[in-house]
């Protein structure tokens, strides 16, 4: 490593702080202690009673349900919102089509009556 004026030699460098443990070549791989999770699991299976397992199961179930409840509520709300939007869109389309048909029919009747009245007026003037 190159030395410069800003480098403080009293501060250790990473290679001086982190020293990797070297396993002896003669030590078998099985001699290494198992990870903490495996130790806890082994100790629990050896020592816990059925009641303790039931308590753990109930607590885990409650936690999972609490965590999922918010997600379920969000998904349910979104699906209801989407279904309502689709239903309202279809209803609006049917309503619009019915209204259009009704207006066309009413307009046709109004025009027919207006034409009939105008023809009667023209005939009356011609007599």
Every domain of the chain and the residues it spans = 37-126
Q: Mean per-residue pLDDT for 17-25?
A: 51
- Contacts made by residues 92-98, CB under 8 angstroms, sequence distance 24+: none
Q: What is the pTM of this model?
A: 0.42
Express each pLDDT in 22-39 by its tens digit.
555 555 555 566 688 888
What are the distances in angstroms from CA 8 to CA 2, 5, 15?
12, 8, 15
| pLDDT at residue 1 greater than cutoff 50 | no
Spatial distance between the Cα atoms of 19 and 13, rounded to a whole number of angstroms: 11
Express each pLDDT in 54-89 by its tens digit.
898 999 999 999 888 888 888 999 999 999 999 999
What are the distances in angstroms from CA 61 to CA 37, 42, 65, 71, 98?
20, 21, 6, 16, 53
Query: 123 vs 8, which has greater pLDDT?
Result: 123
């Amino acid at each position: 490593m190159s030395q410069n004026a800003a480098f403080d030699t009293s501060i250790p460098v990473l290679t001086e702080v982190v020293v990797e443990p070297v396993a002896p070549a003669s030590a078998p791989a099985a001699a290494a202690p198992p990870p903490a999770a495996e130790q806890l699991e082994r100790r629990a299976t050896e020592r816990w009673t059925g009641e303790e397992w039931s308590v753990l199961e109930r607590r885990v179930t409650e936690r999972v349900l609490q965590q999922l409840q918010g997600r379920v509520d969000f998904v349910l709300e979104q699906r209801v919102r989407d279904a309502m939007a689709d239903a309202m869109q279809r209803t609006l389309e049917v309503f619009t089509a019915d209204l259009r048909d009704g207006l066309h029919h009413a307009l046709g009747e109004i025009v027919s009556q207006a034409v009939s009245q105008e023809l009667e007026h023209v005939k009356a003037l011609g007599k």
